[in-house]
Structure formats: C-alpha cells, structure tokens
Amino acid sequence: MPSRPLRVAQAGNEAALPREFAGHEFVAPALLAQALTHRSAGSPHNERLEFLGDALVNQFVAEALYLHWPKADEGALTRARAELVRESALAGLARELRLGERLVLGPGEMKTGGHRRDSILADALEALVAAIHLDAGFETCRSVVLPWFEPLIAALPSPNKVGKDAKTRLQEWLQARGKALPVYAVLEEGGEDHARIFRVGCTLAEPSLASEGEGGSRRAAEQAAAGAMLELLDPP
C-alpha cells in the first residue's frame, strides 16, 4: 500500500512562511520552518526531524546502491553507503542546496559561523528530508531526494575500492607500480579561526605530476589533492 502524507497540526500564520525548498512545494510550510531551525534558536527545532531523516536517507541510499551495483557484496554496499551518508558528504549536499543561507540559528551559533559547520548542515539536511516525507509521503520524498545523491553514486570508485580514502588509494596505485610515494605540502592557509581553509599540493617524482586540493583542515585538503592526483593518473 503506498504511503500517505502525515498531516500535523500547525500553530500560527502559515501564510507568511516560505513554502518552497529544494524543488519541493510544501503543503505544510511549518514543517519546512522547523527543519531549518537549529535548537539554539528555540522550539520547535529540527532534532526530531533529523532522527527520522537519518533513517530515510539511509534507506534511499541503500536501495539506490543495491540497484547501481547488482553484483556487489554486502560489505561493499555497506562501505559505499557509509561514504555517501557520512557527515561531510551530507554537508556538501547541503551547501549545494544553499541550505546554510536558510538556517535559523541562535545568536551564539550565528557568531561562530554555525551555518557553515558540517554537523549543523548535515543535521539540517536530514531534517529537511523528514519534513518532505511528512509533508508529501514516502514516494514523493524519494523522488526529490535521490537526485541529490546520483552524482555522488556515479563518482564512487569500483566496489573493491570503495571505503578507501584517496590518499590510501593513491599510495596503493604507486606501490603497485614500484613508484615513490607522494609529497604533500601546504601551499596556502587562510580564513577565519572558525572556518579555516587549507590549500595543499601533492607532487609525484615519477610520473612527474602535481595536483592541488582545498579543505577545512590540512588532512581534508591532502585528501582532496590525492583525489585530484588519482584523476590525473587514472581518469574515469
């Protein structure tokens, strides 16, 4: 039996609330408002929605991977799902949707750049998924949410490589061919204290290649640089 939208009692004047986000027009805009409200801004906030959205995201991604890789074993599917639903991946999707610009935060979180923090963005994305589900039902929610993940699924490495970070995969590629390991160096560091940005270079002696990557930490920037190097060595 197809799922039916859950209608919830709403208080206040809904006419003044925004109704559209991420391609979905809300019948109950108060759900959208709640999904975008961090607990620091008071109640109703998005933590309960986040709980439900987490389960929905895991189900959508699991089903998509099952269909995408018909011959992959359970271990590969589990590792791939973990890659796609981890905090940094969800935060990246939230940034693509410009979710941070719509968040309602308390004064303290505003001052410390909460609208850019991975944990807050990832939680809000899950809350948004739950809000769409409660507003329009399971099938509509899936049709809205799955396209967000399709580019990430398409970019996954082969099932036997998934779950290994870019630096590990680059090291294994070089070692298998008897080549020297890469050298990483910080090229630039900037940004405010609560939102640092690192630019790191990755250099190979043989073959003679160089790549760069950026991230919110040196480690993240090194991973980005290693990923860029892998694309040079073994383009899709």
The torsion angle over the Cα atoms of residues 27, 46, 127 and 18, rounded to 10 degrees, is 40
Q: Which of 109, 126, 135, 222 is catalytic?
A: 126
The answer to whether residue 63 is catalytic is no
Phi, psi of 152 (to 5 degrees): -70, -40
Q: Please, is 124 exposed, middle or buried when counting C-beta atoms within 10 Å of its C-beta (0-12, 13-18, 19+)?
A: buried
Nearest one of 225, 234, 220, 223 to 173, comparing CA atoms: 234
Structure tokens that stand for 231 in this block? 């694309």
Residue 221 and residue 213 in contact, taking contact as beta carbons nearer than 8 Å: yes
State the DSSP code for 37: B
From the centroid of its chain, how far is CA 71? 26
The Cα–Cα gap between 206 and 214 comes to 23
Structure tokens that stand for 30 in this block? 């108060």
Q: Which of 54, 83, 135, 222 is catalytic?
A: 54
The answer to whether residue 50 is catalytic is no
Nearest one of 178, 177, 167, 164 to 223, comparing CA atoms: 167
The Cα–Cα gap between 156 and 151 comes to 9
Residue 132 and residue 140 in contact, taking contact as beta carbons nearer than 8 Å: yes
Residue 223 and residue 213 in contact, taking contact as beta carbons nearer than 8 Å: yes
Catalytic residue ranges? 54, 126
